[in-house]
Copies of this chain bind each other. A is one copy, B any other.
Amino acid sequence: MFSFTQQRALASSGAMRCLQARVLMNFCSQCGEKVRFAIPESDDRPRYLCDACGTIHYQNPRIVAGTLPVSGSQVLLCKRAIAPRKGYWTLPAGYMENAESTSQAAARETWEEACAEVALANLYTLIDLPHINQVYMIFKADLVGGFAAGPESEEVALFEEDEIPWDSLAFPTIEHTLRHFYADRHKGLYPLHTGVITPEDRERYFGSA
């Protein structure tokens, strides 16, 4: 499908990774005809193209928004009731929806997964996962009132620092966020931390990237 020159350009620009990461598409969502995957004119990376109606189907990363809910000296974690990483502990987080803000998405996910109301503080971690087209945005938050397992959680509980189940965390983004929190807590300052999760980081959790 690609010429040698195109393949070399793709590999060198890093865009070859798009080939693995893209959502597979067979038909045009506008006109229903078959699509092909190629580099459009005056573009530098492959897209799904419809020759019948001319639509170029762009695909872009998704935001996973969530919170680090704090209650006194404890933080709230959720045990996942669904794949991936069922049975492992996570912070409440999930895909941001259309028509909401990042902070609304974080609060909504906390409500859905932990039945917990939170007062959001600042954006605390912003973590890129380029190989799976995700951007994590975790807000520091104060837990307001109670909590309970939502439909996607087996269990929701508060943890002291020495109780954190480090070996049973669901995702590297969660470990990074918690490690930053306990390092920052001594100083009482919680600035934004940014980072990138590599396929190797992820492999430690999933067995494969």
Contact = CB atoms under 8 A, between A and B. Distances in A.
A29 B27 CA distance: 4
Kindly report how many copies of this chain are found in the complex they form together.
2
A169 interface: no
Interface string A54-77: 000111111100000000000000
Contacts of A61: 63, 96-98, 100
B32 A99 contact: no
Nearest to A105: B61
A39 to B, nearest CB: 13
Interface in A81-115: 95-104
A63 B25 CA distance: 22
A133 B196 contact: no
Given A28-B29, A194-B123, A99 B60 contact: no
A27 B26 contact: no
